[in-house]
């Protein structure tokens, strides 16, 4: 049942019944505080609703998230207006989609974002088992990528040395299939069992060489969602309305900060796209392009780096232009050759995809999160639907605020310390967990403070 506020509630306690969120007005929340809940009827301006918030990423992509005791519900009108200038890329975290309700929650989020069954969106998740069949059934035409960091975490359970991480990233960052097969062959020569384990995961879900170009990004990690989760540390333990108010105020601050960056930005592109284009332009000076008389050019560089650029279709055989929508160094070398031949290249920025333009960035942030009045001035809802709180069991001990870190995050400093300790063990120096160097007792001599002799201390001194 939909709330008159125009939002589509997501059910956390029922899998297939399609009920609304269990939060009953006038009752205590899951944290047993004295704050009561009441569903607010819609305001004249949809943005004044305290639950209608949205967020976006640096590359004008979007993500969604929801949880057992906290949820970010997006208004239909606000979300549809925002997505008019965003690229079709969504990041999800299974920390919010665990349990038997995974399919229903992904479907509810799809309804909130106006995602139909034929939506050509690209999802990137952490390879949680419940999300794979849910996205496949709800969005069969969508592209589903896996976060490479989570793949490495699964690999590290059996293969711990960091060299496996290097091989994994070489295979994932290769943009062409021959290059991908070359690195996979090297990985198989090093450890066949590990490479066979990796081959069981379809490369179209984690390797750039098998990505399609419709997402206009070659991202391999779901940091879009992880960054948003890190902003909820101070608000995740609040009641539901307090949590949403925390998110709303944070978004107001973020939008203002981004607008200040936009005002200082010069040029037609975003700062990130400008830096990438400048780097490619610098590397393009080392390449030479040859025209074939049609629409294609052969671009040759050092170390047998030779590719074919198709100007009409805006792609290069290295596939970097196709993946991110920014001309690669081979394409820029081609444009320089076209300029020498007096061809109409106009402006180099014309060959950059529109998602990287400053106007698109401004359009994504043109829909503001409006300020609202205090809670005491909120009108009472006439909605007959009662929302009951979800079942909550108070755990023993102090509630945790920090998230559980993975083994790699916990051991990273120790591993760096152990490697440095191996290099400095001959010098009698060890490196602690905090990175500080400390002297060891291996080569040190103890001097007694009583008899001033070496080999023992004052406690074991016998007066000799």
Q: What is the pLDDT of residues 37-95, one digit of tens each?
A: 333 333 333 333 333 333 333 333 333 333 322 233 333 333 444 444 455 556 665 54
CA dist., res. 62 & res. 66, Å (int): 14
pLDDT at 29 over 70: no
Verify that 311 and 245 share a domain, yes or no. no
Residue 139, in any domain of the structure: yes
Structure tokens, 381: 């809802």
Prediction pTM value: 0.67
pLDDT at 114 over 70: no
Q: Which of 115, 135, 140, 137 is nearest to 125 (CA)?
A: 135
Residue 153, in any domain of the structure: no
Residue 152, in any domain of the structure: no
Verify that 190 and 292 share a domain, yes or no. no
Verify that 189 and 291 share a domain, yes or no. no
Verify that 225 and 371 share a domain, yes or no. yes
Segments forming the whole domain that contains residue 238: 1-147+221-268+361-404
Contact of 54 with 251, CB cutoff 8 Å: yes
User: What percentage of the chain has pLDDT greater than the value 70?
Assistant: 66
Structure tokens, 392: 């909550």
Verify that 331 and 264 share a domain, yes or no. no
pLDDT, residue 450, reads: 86
| Number of domains into which the chain is organized | 4
Residue 302, in any domain of the structure: yes
CA dist., res. 48 & res. 207, Å (int): 42
């Amino acid at each position: 049942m939909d709330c008159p506020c125009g939002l589509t509630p997501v059910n956390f306690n029922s899998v297939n019944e399609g009920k609304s969120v269990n939060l009953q007005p006038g009752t205590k929340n899951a944290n047993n505080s004295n704050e009561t809940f009441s569903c607010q009827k819609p305001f004249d301006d949809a943005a004044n609703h305290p639950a209608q918030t949205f967020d976006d990423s640096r590359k004008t992509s979007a993500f969604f998230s929801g949880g057992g005791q906290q949820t970010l519900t997006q208004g239909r009108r606000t979300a549809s207006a925002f997505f008019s200038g965003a690229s079709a890329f969504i990041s999800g975290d299974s920390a919010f989609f665990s349990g038997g309700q995974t399919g229903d929650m992904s479907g509810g989020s799809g309804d909130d974002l106006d995602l139909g069954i034929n939506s050509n969106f690209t999802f990137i998740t952490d390879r949680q088992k419940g999300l794979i069949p849910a996205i496949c059934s709800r969005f069969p035409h969508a592209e589903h990528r896996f976060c490479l960091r989570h793949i490495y975490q699964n690999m590290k359970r059996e293969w711990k040395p960091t060299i496996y991480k290097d091989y994994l990233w070489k295979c994932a960052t290769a943009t062409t299939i021959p290059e991908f097969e070359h690195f996979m062959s090297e990985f198989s020569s090093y450890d066949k069992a590990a490479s066979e384990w990796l081959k069981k995961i379809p490369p179209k879900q984690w390797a750039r060489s098998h990505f399609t170009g419709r997402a206009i990004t070659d991202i391999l990690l779901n940091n879009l969602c992880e960054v948003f989760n890190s902003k909820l540390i101070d608000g995740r333990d609040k009641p539901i309305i307090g949590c949403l108010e925390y998110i709303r105020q944070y978004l107001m601050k973020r939008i203002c900060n981004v607008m200040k960056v936009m005002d200082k930005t010069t040029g037609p592109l975003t700062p990130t796209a400008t830096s990438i284009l400048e780097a490619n332009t610098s590397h393009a000076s080392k390449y030479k392009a040859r025209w074939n008389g049609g629409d294609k050019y052969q671009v040759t560089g050092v170390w047998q780096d030779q590719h074919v650029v198709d100007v009409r279709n805006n792609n290069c055989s290295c596939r970097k232009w196709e993946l991110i929508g920014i001309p690669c160094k081979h394409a820029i070398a081609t444009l320089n050759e076209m300029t020498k031949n007096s061809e109409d290249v106009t402006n180099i920025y014309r060959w950059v995809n529109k998602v990287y333009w400053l106007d698109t960035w401004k359009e994504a942030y043109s829909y503001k999160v409006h300020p609202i009045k205090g809670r005491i001035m909120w009108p009472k809802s006439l909605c007959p639907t009662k929302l009951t709180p979800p079942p909550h069991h108070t755990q023993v001990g102090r509630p945790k605020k920090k998230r559980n870190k993975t083994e790699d995050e916990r051991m990273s400093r120790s591993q760096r310390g152990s490697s440095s300790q191996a290099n400095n063990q001959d010098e009698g120096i060890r490196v602690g967990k905090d990175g500080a160097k400390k002297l060891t007792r291996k080569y040190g001599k103890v001097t007694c403070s009583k008899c001033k002799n070496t080999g023992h201390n004052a406690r074991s001194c016998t007066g000799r």
